[in-house]
Amino acid sequence: MTITVRLNHELRTFNTDAQETLLHLIREKARLTGTKCGCDLGECGACTVILDGRAVNSCCVLAEQVNGREVETIEGIGTLEHPHPLQQAFMDAGAIQCGFCTPGMILSAKALLDHTPHPSRADIQKAMSGNLCRCTGYTKIIEAVELAAERMEKERG
């Protein structure tokens, strides 16, 4: 079947079949390789993207389910020259080592901050609970999300 998706704010059309996952479509057809495949089983969160405003594991969503919907990947939220405040905060707080988990972490955090601009530490822990990191431990990641929330608040004035 043919599907149309608003991918990173741009309407895109893809051919897909009943077995293809959103993760496969993003990486292999859209060639957006910032979305990582850690487990392909819904357990690690490395494949997290934002679907209609909610963080989802793209390995657990069929491509055909996103027909007519909006998908945001890490490539859609910032650039090297203009990183998203979350990307900058992850760098500044030392929340990145290998970086494999980082795109998914940042998208889970963005979905949280889009709906909850002043999250508690418990809110952040809950929002990030599906994202596994084997490098940094989680303290710096949580601090990075808090730092980004503070900076975004200042930017909003």
| Angstrom distance (rounded) from CA 146 to CA 142 | 6
Q: Is 42 one of the binding residues for ligand FES (CB under 6 A)?
A: yes
Footprint of ligand FES on 74-133 (CB under 6 A):
96-102, 133
Among 28, 39, 68, 153, binds ligand FES (CB under 6 A): 39
What's the min distance (Å) between Cβ of 46 and ligand FES? 5
By CB under 6 A, tell whether 20 contacts ligand FES. no
Residues 6+ apart with CB under 8 A from 36: 46, 47, 100, 101, 103, 104
Q: How far apart are CA 121 and CA 141, in angstroms?
A: 11
CB of 41 to ligand FES, least distance (A): 6
Q: Provide, rounded to whole angstroms, the least separation between the CB of residue 154 and ligand FES.
A: 27
Residues 6+ apart with CB under 8 A from 75: 8, 32, 34
> Is 57 one of the binding residues for ligand FES (CB under 6 A)?
yes
